[in-house]
Amino acid sequence: MSSPSPAAPVLSHLDDSGQVRMVDVSGKTTTQRTAVAEGRVRMSPAAYQLLASQRNAKGEVLNTARVAGVLASKRCAELIPLCHSLPLSFTGIEFTLDDAAHSITITATCRSDYKTGVEMEAMTACSVAALTIYDMCKAADKGIVLENIRLRYKSGGKSGEWRND
């Protein structure tokens, strides 16, 4: 198998023979890393009203989702098989409510001073926060939609800063 050119993308979790492997970060430099993920939860007007007014029978939905997202970021390596276990210096979850669209945008930010990025931690935090909202609101609307979970920003490491605006 020939070496890819510098411009050719590669799958870093496959070795030269195509076998799955954990990426070796032992030679990498520790740098400050940040990642921001975003996703959206869309629901019926009735379910949204219950969430927005905090009358959900299971308790205060957004604070529960915030805690769930933070906990998930810290357990990312237990969920994603080849993900490195890394020390997080910060995880923050923010919610933006859109009354007209009956939706909640979730923004998860993770930071670490380590040898590999925190993109997976931010996306896991965002995903689990969205799933928690679904779980707590499903009695009012089984058709809740989780959508557009994606990386919005990352910084640090060899590849530097990247944005998905």
Residue at 129 is within a domain: yes
Concatenated DSSP letters of 62-85: HHHHHHHHHHHHHTHHHHSTTPPP
- Supply the residues annotated as catalytic: 135
- Claim: this prediction has a pTM higher than 0.85: yes
Residue at 13 is within a domain: no
Tokens of residue 163, six digits = 């944005």
The one-letter amino acid code at 18 reads G
User: For the chain, how many structural domains are there in total?
Assistant: 1
10-residue stretch averages of pLDDT, the chain, 165 residues long: 58 76 81 96 96 74 96 95 92 96 98 93 98 96 98 92 93
Residue at 111 is within a domain: yes
Which pLDDT does position 55 carry in this prediction? 60
DSSP 44: -
